[in-house]
Structure 1
């Protein structure tokens, strides 16, 4: 390495340090009044990107001292080229510290080199300042003399996760190089994607120095997988080759999404224009560098200088590392001026032999601590924005989201911690973090399409989606497999099958699939539903379709779609058909106050009818005993519409019409209430409480192969020996009817199928235990699950389609009326308050008719003011006379005995007038 050492002054005002060991840059002779600060530059110079960095360092030194000619110090850069080798880098740093006694070291280029160099810098108290070692495994907080004037790679992971979230991608394939640089970012990416509900489904590792065959082999492997979102974390050298081969393999077309980290986007080799040709549609994330006036001016001067020094290279743009290198040299020159102390410009040497490989002989820089403090405290406006170190490293302000379009790059948005994704950058605005594709300008994706890739496809190598389906002995309404006896070809039917067909048609893309029955060699079920779902985990099935219940413990192994049926686990028991009847059950439909009110209303109505019909209807006359009997008989006979008496008075008819209407309502209500009471008493379940079954150690049944057994044992604490599996509704019926089990537990959809056949014998009782219904199962993290869930929503919300499918399998069976679980109680009796309005109406009509009748009678029988009545003809006496006449004509006696003394004796009436009235009076006084 010493033979390769050359001293280079990279600016107009950088001077020679030792004429015998360094090479001048052709600038005028150095000013002897200036103090030289020895600085080592450990950086490879074997690529066009490296030449960009070299030219930026040269211009930084020149520009700084042109702007500060009065400074007493000058940087003298001693360059070492380690040729990208870790050992050579460590040897170069050791040489610079031991032999050249540099006060600071710029570099090295790679994080793997910096890992070895940092310890040497710490031992010698020489700041190691790197503008390109971005691996998060290197931390300035762990190594005091390590300063990173670039962004940590891990600072970009939240921006990358935001892009993934914006387009709704759930799975990502990570492609990275097998180096410290590539491996260091992986754990940070995993954590960032988990925050946005995404995951890395596969890691594709590219060797550090790959041959074309290595990359092609890995690309072919990626083509066999479903995921079509690729995140590439590589250096420019490997990345350029990778994308060229990916383009050749046809993977830069539609349905593919490629995202690159700033390792590629910040340092793409500008010389290789073919790299950009093969990267059309790629989306990248890189630190945002504001285009200030000073940066624009620098780029113009830099381009001119670069073309003069490198006429054989074409350059498209500056790399971010070149800008960081420029700001780093400026910061170091300023810190050197502030920290310079001639008395401390040398090393303190230990008393050991001088040997380049003897670490114990390393001296200690006296100025190192002071120089480090000045570097860490410096703050100025550089080409990349504000240069300010926090905990020994630069901190990013914003990231830029760009899209490769042809030979150019288009900025489509920005990401900041405060704003999240946004199409425009406004650092003064504080907004709520968002994660939608609308927060970015529309990019052009591979294949020159504006439609975002959905992120996954079925593998293109002829594979179909392998769907496991259950073999069921019963409940074929949900899924049924039938083998042709001649060809052995399977045919499928059932509600779950038809639902999957409808969901498949509702998807925005086609799914090639094949059903694989979960059966053994004898075409019987090969296991339980849990066993069938476990085959997804074992990668035998890609999905399971059937009446599979969504329960918590299964979700740890598979991803379920949204349910397509109602949910719940219920208990069905036999009905206790008790033929014994309550002797007095016939009075239960009406409460005692309603019975009493009805009887009183009947008597009142009969009395009103008798009063209105007494004078004019012969059927309502007779002896007093007969009249009283007639009133009660007529009242009660109207309750059953059995009265035979005809009415003659018009005032009687409205009374009877209203009363008959009241009686009709009462009898109909009585009949309905009595029927309900008899039904409830007849359909009383034998058991209503699960705890009774457990305590009394009754046997219970469940559907064979289902999750119910696990639920009964672990959740409800049933004894496993008391559980009996059954496979069909017919077996349920036989077990319950013969008393083999006290109850059956199953999902509500299956219970409804069972009750539809045997609705008068069994009923659902007790609590309904929460489950999430039937759903389809997919592997954990499968992007297909979310698409199928959305399709299920579309199908289940289509009422016509759902009615057709349900009617096909469940509509032909008799429906059971839902039975109430409550046992008969007095609450079923009808109260008088329910019919209060009817009684008020009939009372008002009856009283109105009586009032009209009485007024009419008084009007027609009021005594005239003739001479015969001139004596004692006061109004009161006339009222009493008419009232007495009313009672007498209606056969009411003894009511007004006191009025007899005031009546005119017939002896005082002339014989010619008395004889006609005598008969009338006798008739009135003679009892009938």
Structure 2
């Protein structure tokens, strides 16, 4: 039946070619072209129909061309050897100028070598494997996309939905294996781990496929990337649906090799793919494409009358555009004088050695590579020996069809619409901005991408006892031998597991068991997850930078940091000059300066006010100045401005003296204890011995700071710390304990008196849990821990395990009473200085005004006196007035001058408060 169909097909193609030739010029030169396809495959049938239509359309549009293509179609029957034999036959017996095909990657390698040897271009629109590189095969042209072009789209899709692991399922052929290295590399760049690779032979039976699927079901990962031929993929999905792997929680991503043919697959196969995502080459819509699709559907039914209806795929469009590119190149080269050069004959030779070389092959290849036009598939450009990376669609299989979810381009990444104005890379946002997806099992919830299989192993949780059993205590059950763990760290973990939306069976495994190969340190404990001994380790594990190289950490559930625990000593200072310490030297100096300044201001004010009590020798004035500064005496201070200055000054003295008294009292009574060491550098300089918790990373930190190994001692329990600190460094103990803040709070809760905490000295991220890198549980456990630590549950857990003593004052850094500085009383100094300075300034203005006024009056009086004396000299003396004596006296009272004129006859005196009085004549 297949042979009869092939004969009918060849007759139809010949009829098409003959019709095209009749429309062409009678003198048109024939260009022989070989076509090698699997005529029984879906891709081969689609391509043959498209090729026949392409010949008809091209020569109908170009009737004046001097060349025409003559096709020699061969069926490879999906056999690599047969495909090679057909290629040799076409080259030797038909001297074809080019070969279109083959269909498979495994066939293309050998045939491309033949093309290189004979200088005949090999053009394939189906070979997509990256292992077949046009750069290494100079006469091979890929009229399709390289499979590696779609790996970035796949990685962006996985990253968009937040999946951390993915398992590729591919066929064991050149086509299946070729994409895997590129896919894994791109996924790892996005921190997506590939824990397993499922390889299925091309000849695998349904039973073999079922066994492989069962194996996948026992694993945690639920994200699968399917890359195989459409026939094998159909069997795979039918079995996956049968085994329940197309239900809620599973994720299937199909590469374009299958998705490009999804419209031509059997409806039952498409239904089995429901919920899967697919990568598909995007073809721009056009009127030309719509018209061609209608014609193609009709022709396909004629070419394949016994086959079920099929739809045009991208492979049919690429084959159509390939014929147009080849026909245009042949016309430009003009292969009228095509010749083949025979190699030098040898006595013993094979068919390959006698293969002739085309003289026009290089020129034809050059013109093919220069072919650039807008075809049915979009922009058809072979200048790079293969089609350039274009646009992909992400589709969602629903029912017997599919719908668009988003688009991917190299410039914008994954977007919901191609014409999106502000396109951003999807995987940078928290939720993908794509069209909604109906996932397997008709679920609208985004799958987590992994599950803990019910029939799988339990989660192995590594535990170890801590020196502080409030955090974690591990014991072995004497009867069952099971490991039991209790403590704050355990409670937080168990509460987080309860919140997870899926069941996670787990078991505790004691660290230090025969399975461990460690030295007992916390670094070795964390490293066990990298060695796959445990799935997760819990406890009082500090999140450290160096540990992130081989493990991932959850969010912290405690605060942390490194501080020192040191003994305290009695610091009651019995020094004779203790009374000076409440104030700093600057404060003392400032107070003395303002003390003197205030006295000078008050003395000046009283002096300007003509207060006779302030007059006298300098020692007496200094005494009065001090007296003014300390007291307010109404009999001495007479001016109003002086009283204002004194009131402000007394307020200043009241505040300063009360603060001085309070600070001195605090120094003598409250602050009696001080740490023996205030900084870690003091320990380095004095060569003291320090201690740390055995197994902690603090030892390495101390060594980095410069401590010698002999000066560092490890201890296990809080009682060991207490004994070592109480003895001191000189008596075989330690001078300080370097420890983490959560531990120090527990230590001081039981040893409050005699010790204090200095620091924190160094910061740390806190305590968390460690998992193997790439473990998909990390995100869910961290999210659940945030729920626990941010609610009342954490408060109850801390009350259960952490009973801190509230009356202990040594938890935290010790801060004592410090001396009062000038800055503490800056406002008072400004107020006092402003009051004194402004009062002095006002007094000087008043004094200057009065002095100016007196000078003016004196001038007027002197002028009047002169006029009176002139009159007396000019007039004759009158009777009874001779011998009259006029007396003038100047007296000072309250700073003003008084002029008195006395008449000896009347014994009267007229005094005026002005600078001069009217003179009475005798």
> For 2:418, which of 393, 417, 425 is the aligned residue?
425
Shift of 1:767: 7.3
Change (3 A) 1:530 1:832: closer
The answer to whether the 8 Å contact 1:350/1:362 transfers is no
TM (normalized to structure 2)? 0.79
Contact 2:226–2:255 (8 Å) recurs in 1: yes
Query: 1:732 aligns to what?
Result: 721
Partner of 2:680: 689
Counterpart Cα distance in 2 of 1:507 and 1:116: 55
Between 575-584 and 199-208, the greater mean CA deviation after superposition: 575-584
Alignment of 1:75-86 (within 5 A): 75-86=69-80
Query: For structure 1, which segment, 433-442 or 317-326, has the greater mean C-alpha deviation from structure 2 after superposition?
Result: 433-442
Q: What is the CA–CA distance in structure 1 between the aligned matches of 2:893 and 2:821, rounded to whole Å?
A: 56
- Distance verdict in 2 for CA 1:837–1:66, change over 3 Å: closer
3-state DSSP of counterpart to 2:557: coil
Q: C-alpha separation between the residues in 2 aligned to 1:321 and 1:654?
A: 103
Task: Name which of 711, 734, 744 aligns with 1:722.
Answer: 711
> 2:889, 2:746 → 1: CA distance?
88
Aligned position for 2:351: 358
Partner of 1:66: 60
Asked if 1:39 is matched to 2:56, the reply is no
Q: 1:309 aligns with which of 303, 309, 322?
A: 303
Partners in 1 of 2:495 and 2:354 — Cα distance?
A: 79
- Alpha-carbon contact 1:756-1:816 (below 8 Å) kept: no
Are residue 790 (structure 1) and residue 783 (structure 2) matched? yes
How far the C-alpha of 1:229 sits from its partner, in A, is 1.2
Q: CA deviation at 1:91?
A: 2.4
3-state SS of paired residue (1:753): helix
Distance 1:230 1:96 in 2: 42
> 1:527-926 maps to which residues of 2 (within 5 A)?
527-577=520-570, 581-590=574-583, 591=585, 592-593=588-589, 596=592, 665-674=655-664, 677=667, 682-686=673-677, 688-690=679-681, 693-694=683-684, 697-713=687-703, 715-739=704-728, 740-759=733-752, 761-765=754-758, 768-798=761-791, 802-808=794-800, 809-813=802-806, 814-816=808-810, 818-819=812-813, 833=826, 835-836=828-829
1:327 & 1:602 partners in 2: Cα distance?
A: 104
C-alpha separation in 2, matches of 1:676 and 1:506:
52
Q: How many Å separate the matches in 1 of 2:247 and 2:759?
A: 59
Q: Is the 8 A contact 1:103 1:127 kept in 2?
A: yes
Distance apart, 1:517 and its partner CA = 3.7
8 Å Cα contact 2:463/2:537 also seen in 1: yes
Q: Is 1:160 aligned to residue 154 of structure 2?
A: yes
In structure 2, what is the Cα distance between the partners aligned to 1:411 and 1:424? 10
Rounded to whole Å, the distance in 2 between the matches of 1:599 and 1:373 is: 103
Q: Deviations over 1:492-531 (max 9, x none)?
A: 543323433454455455544333343559x9x9932223
Distance 1:586 1:438, change over 3 A: same
Distance in 1 between the 2:652 and 2:479 partners?
Answer: 73
Please give the secondary structure, in 2, of the residue aligned with 1:394: coil
Is the 2:330–2:364 contact (alpha carbons within 8 Å) kept by the matching residues of 1? yes
**Larger deviation, residues 722-731 vs 102-111:** 722-731
Aligned equivalents of 2:22 and 2:674: distance in 1? 114
- CA deviation after TM superposition for structure 1 residue 561, in Å: 1.5
**Following the alignment from structure 2 to structure 1, what is the Cα–Cα distance between the partners of residues 17 and 627?**
137
Change (3 A) 1:92 1:875: farther
**Is the Cα–Cα contact under 8 Å of residues 483 and 509 in structure 2 kept in the other structure?**
no
Task: Give the Å deviation of 1:66.
Answer: 2.8
Q: Which residue of 1 aligns with 2:857?
A: none
CA shift, 1:836, in A, is: 3.3
Partner of 1:243: 237
Take 2:722 and 2:17, find their aligned partners in 1: how far apart are those partners?
103
Name which of structure 1's ranges 732-741 and 494-503 shifts more when overlaid on structure 2. Answer: 494-503
Alignment partners' CA distance in 1, 2:833 and 2:379:
92
Contact kept, 8 Å, 1:594 with 1:832, in 2: the verdict is: no
1:384 aligned partner? 377
Aligned residue pairs total 834
> What is the Cα deviation at residue 105 of structure 1?
0.7
Q: C-alpha distance in 2, partners of 1:53/1:72?
A: 26
CA distance in 2, matches of 1:191, 1:657: 84
Find 1:401's aligned residue among 394, 411, 414.
394
1:165-180 correspondence runs (5 A):
165-180=159-174
Asked if 2 retains the 8 angstrom alpha-carbon contact of 1:593 and 1:831, the reply is: no
Structure 1 position 285 matched with structure 2 position 298: no
Q: How far is 1:676 from its partner?
A: 5.6
Deviations 1:449-494 (A, max 9, x none): 22211212222325433222221233x2322346778887776543
1:730 deviates by 2.4
The 1-side partners of 2:441 and 2:520 are apart by 47
Q: CA deviation at 1:145?
A: 0.5
Is the Cα contact below 8 Å between 1:594 and 1:831 reproduced in 2?
A: no
Change in 2 beyond 3 A, CA 1:237/1:47: same
Question: Does the aligned pair in 1 maintain the 2:557–2:768 contact within 8 Å?
Answer: yes
Q: Distance in 2 between matches of 1:489 and 1:86?
A: 60
Measure the CA separation in 2 of the matches of 1:716 and 1:879. Answer: 80
Q: Matched residues in 1 for 2:890 and 2:814: separation?
A: 69
Aligned match for 2:13, one of 11, 18, 21: 11
Counterpart for residue 106 of structure 2? 112
Deviates more, 1:86-95 or 1:295-304: 86-95
Which residue of structure 2 lines up, in the alignment, with residue 102 of structure 1? Answer: 96
Residue 211 (structure 1) shift: 1.5
Matching residue of 2:907: none
TM-score by length of 1: 0.78
1:202 is paired with a residue whose SS is coil
- Note closer, same or farther for the CA distance 1:176–1:128 as it changes in structure 2 (3 Å cut): same
Structure 2 unaligned spans of 5+: 604-620, 633-639, 841-886, 901-922
Distance 1:406 1:495 in 2: 51
Is the partner of 2:705 in helix, strand or coil?
coil
Distance in 2 separating the partners of 1:244 and 1:431? 38
Shift of 1:26: 13
Q: Deviations over 1:314-371 (max 9, x none)?
A: 124222212211221222222222223322244444334796x432211100111121
Aligned 8 A contact 2:485 2:508 in 1: no
CA distance in 2, matches of 1:673, 1:375: 96
CA 1:269–1:829: 2 relative to 1, 3 Å? closer
Shift of 1:400: 1.1
2:266 pairs with 1:272: yes
Pairing partner for 1:325 from 319, 329, 351: 319
Find the residue that maps to 1:171 and give its secondary structure.
coil
Q: Identify if the C-alpha distance between structure 1 residues 73 and 178 changes in structure 2 by more than 3 Å, giving closer, same or farther.
A: same
Partner of 2:917: none
After superposition, the C-alpha distances for 1:537-562 in whole angstroms (9 at most, x for unaligned) are 23232112211111122112211122
> Which residue is equivalent to 2:511?
518
In 1, the alpha carbon distance for the partners of 2:481 and 2:373 equals 81
